[in-house]
Amino acid sequence: MKKVLEHTTIGEHYIVEASGCDPEIIGNVEKVQQILIEAAKEANVQIWSVSFHRFYPNGVSGVVVIAESHISIHTWPEVGYAAIDIYTCGDNALPEKAVEYAVERFKASHVHITELTRGVHDGDNIFYHTLTTWEERPKEAKV
């Protein structure tokens, strides 16, 4: 009988290209910060630290450091683009909920998502990752 190996993973890493975002939202440091803090709560993770900065004349960059890793963003309001990075580990984190929450609140019209399953190993502690990528058009943002 052939033995089937079980894979173990360390974390999930979502790389999100959000196009067609509302420039008034992604250009406002307070709004972007609040959305990512709420996205972290949606993901069921513990927030440790928050740091955001508005660039002149446009753009916001920031990070929410969480016990399970991080949620970060860089925005270009002049072209309606937000680059979002969500990396979590642990059995209770729900990173896909953070992605869904953020792209809806930024009012993205088109989203390209790459999901990296990181720290995959077969019990030998030799780590690798797997990659899945897809595109979607989010539902209308909830207000």
Residue 102: inside a domain:
yes
Residue 109: inside a domain:
yes
Residue 78: inside a domain:
yes
Model confidence pTM above 0.75: yes
Residue 4: inside a domain:
no
So what's the pLDDT on residue 124?
87
Q: Within 13 Å and on the Cβ side, how many CA atoms surround 28?
A: 11
pLDDT tens column, 35-51? 999 999 999 999 999 99
Report the mean per-residue pLDDT for the chain.
91
Q: From the candidates 13, 21, 69, 72, give the one annotated as an active-site residue.
A: 69
pLDDT tens column, 78-89? 999 999 999 999
Known catalytic residue: 74?
yes
Residue 69: inside a domain:
yes
Range of the domain at 96: 11-136
Considering its fold, how many domains does the chain have in total?
A: 1
Residue 6: inside a domain:
no
So what's the pLDDT on residue 7?
60
CA-closest candidate to residue 10, choices 69, 65, 97? 69
Known catalytic residue: 89?
yes
Q: From the candidates 70, 74, 110, 129, give the one annotated as an active-site residue.
A: 74
pLDDT beneath 70: ranges in the chain: 1-7, 139-143
CA distances from 17 to 10, 74, 126 (A): 23, 10, 30
Q: From the candidates 13, 21, 72, 89, give the one annotated as an active-site residue.
A: 89
Residue 142: inside a domain:
no
Return the CATH number at 115: 3.60.90.10
Residue 33: inside a domain:
yes
So what's the pLDDT on residue 95?
96
